[in-house]
Amino acid sequence: MKPDWDKLMAEWKDSTSGGVFDVDCTTGGKSLCEQHGVRGYPTIKWGDPSDLQDYKGGRSLADLKKFASENLKPVCSPGNLDLCDADKKKQIEEMMAMSDGDLEAKIKEGKAEESKLEETFKTEVKALQTKYEQLQKDKEEGLKKVKESGLGLMQAVAAHKKKTKSEL
């Protein structure tokens, strides 16, 4: 994917409507990656730098180019109100009218909810993994018992009997 990403960065380097960048999360970009929840590599994020979203599209150069051409442009934000529909403008105006403390409290509340959802997800996936491992173990033990009960030999006897009957 890296060669395709480098080509995409080169194509967008002089763009005035958006940009394509990469960050090394193991060196100087580590704090930026932590801030935006990057846990695996490669991770692609897009959107407003203060509200990056996870990219869920294809990873080929064609897929990346298509996504970039459709999405890397100025978007509705407090700095681009002219790009907002009436509902978004109203939402932004309400947020702008909030005190800094109230806005920070709402942000903290939203981030806490995100963390709670992530933690629930991790806990439930761990429980599923444990259940899966137990089911796998039970299946393997059950199959071993079935084989040890003589199933293979029974099948061989049945096949032999069928063969000898047809020869008569």
Digitized pLDDT (tens) for each residue of the chain, 168 residues in all = 778 888 878 877 877 667 788 788 888 888 888 888 887 778 888 877 777 888 888 888 899 889 888 888 887 888 889 989 999 999 999 999 999 999 999 999 999 999 999 999 999 999 999 999 999 999 999 999 999 999 999 999 999 999 998 877
Give the pTM.
Answer: 0.56
For residues 74 and 69, give the distance between their C-alpha atoms in angstroms, rounded to a whole number: 12
Q: Are 18 and 75 in contact (CB under 8 A)?
A: no
Q: Please list the residues that pair with 45 across neighbouring strands.
A: 54
Backbone angles phi, psi at 46, to 5 degrees: -150, 160
For residues 165 and 111, give the distance between their C-alpha atoms in angstroms, rounded to a whole number: 74
* pLDDT of the residue at 131: 97
Fold classified for 2-74? Glutaredoxin (3.40.30)
Residue 153: both structure tokens together: 């030999």
Hey, which bits of the chain come out as E strands?
45-46, 53-54
For residues 95 and 19, give the distance between their C-alpha atoms in angstroms, rounded to a whole number: 27
